[in-house]
Amino acid sequence: MKITILGCYSATPRKDKHTSSQLIEMNGKLFLIDCGEGTQMQLRKAKIKFNRINHIFISHLHGDHFYGLIGLISTFRLTGRTKTLNIYGPKGIKEIITLQLKLANSWTNYPLNFHELTSEISETIYEKESVSVETLPLDHRVYTNGFLFTLRSSCRKINSKAINGLNLKPYHFDQLKKGLSILLEDGTNIKNNELTFDPEKPKRYAYCSDTSYNRDLIPLIKQVDLLYHESTFLEKDIDLAEKTKHSTAIQAAKIAKEAKVKKLILGHYSSRYIDKNIFFNEASTIFKDVDLSEDFKTFLV
Amino acid sequence: MKITILGCYSATPRKDKHTSSQLIEMNGKLFLIDCGEGTQMQLRKAKIKFNRINHIFISHLHGDHFYGLIGLISTFRLTGRTKTLNIYGPKGIKEIITLQLKLANSWTNYPLNFHELTSEISETIYEKESVSVETLPLDHRVYTNGFLFTLRSSCRKINSKAINGLNLKPYHFDQLKKGLSILLEDGTNIKNNELTFDPEKPKRYAYCSDTSYNRDLIPLIKQVDLLYHESTFLEKDIDLAEKTKHSTAIQAAKIAKEAKVKKLILGHYSSRYIDKNIFFNEASTIFKDVDLSEDFKTFLV
């Protein structure tokens, strides 16, 4: 699972600071979370073949999280896309997009499926092969969801020590990964569990933006491998965070700590602060493994 | 009159190629024409104090001409704007913008006035002090207007030779510009026309994008000082130009020649062409004074 940050600033895009968007790559498939203005240019700059994106998840209908969506949809049309595009987002997103396509007399020449979200409790909105996506209800000024991405490994892991010297063929590896016993060319039958380990634990990534400090989130993101939690403000502006239903870096770290996540990424910074390292310093007083998101930075799970 | 090109490419924004937007500066006032995705970043890059823009003119509702508008409106809100913003554009533009503001629960804290256009013939849509703006009905796939900007000089021009040695005070200059006679300190009375010339002719700039080759335009832009005429295609793709209701560089030059404009700027290039100079070469076979628009290039009238 690879996460590429395309934008991690709040409110308005600046010359070299982009509003929220992230690309998630799993099993060779591309998923997009949020789509601030200019996301399609960011995808080009990151040299991502973005026509491979088939699923876009929009957290909420504040502009810094979706004003780039209509442009991306139009670009897909102009570059000859034929594959279905699935868009998951709050109720209303379909009306916004289709009104613009209607007035431009420019319907897409590919199927555009909207999955409008209204649930106030977590629900599974995507599940296919080894990947699932669940909503994480957040507490913001408008209806907002975070998203929990889970990548399950269905394959058993080969025990490289145990297979040493067995001269296995490629089909033996396929059988072992599937949990089957194998028959060697000399007629020996070996049980699967002698040559394999259990599959890896699922990899889990939680995207939580935008939200106030919200302890209801903790059970939903318990022990995830990676948590992106918004930290719009520093602690000196905690009043502003409360008023605007955003979080401080320390609040993000408290959630990370209580949920016992493995690693925390901060982001959605207010552009009022020049030095991002203060976010890191403040969060690190509470939680050990903190990292700062930056446009084009990647994270592996 | 100063024109700054913020974007001059058609269809989709690229890494370093932006879709349509231009800033017009007249008498210290800023006017914006069209607003493709990322225009607010282009304004920042050009170091323009864009909160001074009070009037935005949208030619038509294709995305490459207005997808950046909602973001700019939101940024005005977030940066504390209080002044009225006037938006001129095709019917429907108010619905698109207000729907997005409604769903984001983010109404502007400044007055937002929409002037929706439906006329099929040229009309004056702005007139104040020395500036006026008229629509130029264009022939495109959806309802589209170009815009004709006129800057009138109401001041008489001082004849610098004639005033030589007269030791005029600042208030004398004001009186002369207004067409008044002046009284020197020694009691001499001098008639205005002995010291001044008639005011300069109005400066006129015509923006015509997007449009097919459309000779109806010629009488409306007769002898303008500067014409921006779209040239999406080269001559070898004239069939495509006709089909999509765009123009070739040669067609733009033919309009410029027949309208006897002083200078022609080409733009709205399709990104299928690598070498923009071919647009210049083709247009120059028909019309003498051709120039190519480029992002951030400026033109003075």
Q: Nearest-CA neighbor of A177 among A158, A151, A203?
A: A158
Nearest CA in chain B to A64: B71
Q: Is A173 a residue whose pLDDT tops 90?
A: yes
| R_g (Cα) of chain A, nearest Å | 22
Give yes or no for A272 touching B (CB within 8 A).
no
A216 and A98 in a common domain: yes
Range of the domain at A32: 2-153+200-300
Strands (E), B9-109: 21-26, 29-33, 53-57, 85-90
- pLDDT for B36 equals 98
**Cβ neighbours of residue A271 under 8 Å, at least 6 residues apart?**
A9, A10, A11, A12, A14, A17
Interface contact flag, B15 A41, Cβ < 8 Å: yes
Interface contact flag, A41 B14, Cβ < 8 Å: yes
Q: Is B154 a residue whose pLDDT tops 90?
A: no
Which among A41, A100, A142 has the least Cβ separation from residue B104?
A142
3-state helix, strand, coil in chain A (%, to 5): 30, 30, 40
- What integer is the mean pLDDT of B99-115? 94
A290 and A261 in a common domain: yes
Which among B15, B61, B142 has the least Cβ separation from residue A44?
B15
Interface contact flag, B40 A79, Cβ < 8 Å: no
8 A C-beta contact, residue B149 and residue B1:
yes
Q: How confident is the model at residue A88 (pLDDT cuts 50, 70, 90)?
A: very high
A225 and A212 in a common domain: yes
- What integer is the mean pLDDT of A33-58? 97
Neighbour tally for A160: CB within 10 Å = 8
- pLDDT single digits (tens) B178-199: 999 999 989 999 999 999 999 9
Percent above pLDDT 70 for chain A: 100
What gap in Å lies between CA A204 and CA B129, rounded to an integer? 62
Which of A103, A107, A114, A116 is the best residue to mutate to test the B interface, defined by the most B CB atoms within 10 Å of its own CB? A103
Tally of structural domains, chain A: 2
CA angle B63, B68, B72 (to 5 degrees): 155
Give yes or no for B38 touching A (CB within 8 A).
yes
Which of B6, B12, B108 is the best residue to mutate to test the A interface, defined by the most A CB atoms within 10 Å of its own CB? B12
- Whole-Å CA distances, A199 to A196, B55, B174: 9, 61, 87
B208 CB-side CA count, 13 A: 36
Q: Is B116 a residue whose pLDDT tops 80?
A: yes
A287 and A219 in a common domain: yes
Q: Is B235 a residue whose pLDDT tops 80?
A: yes
Using an 8 Å CB-CB cutoff, list chain A residues near B14: 41, 44
- Whole-Å CA distances, A39 to A72, A79, A267, A298, B260: 8, 16, 16, 16, 42
A163 and A224 in a common domain: no
B170 and B25 in a common domain: no
Which among A44, A92, A103 has the least Cβ separation from residue B92?
A103
Element (H, E) at A182: strand A182-183
**Cβ neighbours of residue B119 under 8 Å, at least 6 residues apart?**
B135, B137
Provide φ and ψ at B204, rounded to 5°.
-130, 130
Q: Which of residues 192-231 of A touch B (CB under 8 A)?
A: none
Which of B44, B67, B93 is the best residue to mutate to test the A interface, defined by the most A CB atoms within 10 Å of its own CB? B67
CA distance B217 to chain A (A): 23
- pLDDT for B52 equals 97
Give yes or no for A103 touching B (CB within 8 A).
yes
- What integer is the mean pLDDT of A110-125? 98
Q: How confident is the model at residue B153 (pLDDT cuts 50, 70, 90)?
A: confident
Six token digits for residue B299:
């033109």
Q: Is B218 a residue whose pLDDT tops 80?
A: yes
Q: What's the mean per-residue pLDDT of chain A? A: 96
| R_g (Cα) of chain B, nearest Å | 22
DSSP string, A103-163: HTT---SS-EEEEEE--SS--EEEEETTEEEEEEEE-SSS-EEEEEEEE---SPEE-HHHH
Among A143, A173, A197, the domain-final residue is A197
Q: How confident is the model at residue A154 (pLDDT cuts 50, 70, 90)?
A: confident
- What integer is the mean pLDDT of B93-119? 96
Q: Is A111 a residue whose pLDDT tops 90?
A: yes
**Cβ neighbours of residue A86 under 8 Å, at least 6 residues apart?**
A54, A55, A56, A113, A115, A126
Q: What's the mean per-residue pLDDT of chain B? A: 96
B94 CB-side CA count, 13 A: 10
Q: Nearest-CA neighbor of A137 among A210, A66, A240?
A: A210
B214 and B242 in a common domain: yes
Report the amino acid identity of residue A265.
Answer: I
Active site residues of A: 64
Give yes or no for B44 touching A (CB within 8 A).
yes
What gap in Å lies between CA A278 and CA A280, rounded to an integer? 5
Q: Nearest-CA neighbor of A255 among A211, A203, A299, A300?
A: A211
A204 and A168 in a common domain: no
Interface contact flag, B44 A15, Cβ < 8 Å: yes
Nearest CA in chain B to A59: B104
Using an 8 Å CB-CB cutoff, list chain A residues near B92: 103
B210 and B175 in a common domain: no
- What integer is the mean pLDDT of A59-75? 97
A215 and A191 in a common domain: no
What gap in Å lies between CA A54 and CA A174, rounded to an integer? 28
B277 and B255 in a common domain: yes
- pLDDT single digits (tens) B17-54: 999 999 999 989 999 999 999 999 999 999 999 999 99
- pLDDT for B129 equals 87
Phi-psi region at A252: left, alpha or beta (left = phi > 0; alpha = psi -120 to 50): alpha
B100 and B27 in a common domain: yes
Q: Is A155 a residue whose pLDDT tops 90?
A: no
CATH number at residue B254: 3.60.15.10
Which among B63, B103, B142 has the least Cβ separation from residue A61?
B103
Q: Is A169 a residue whose pLDDT tops 90?
A: yes
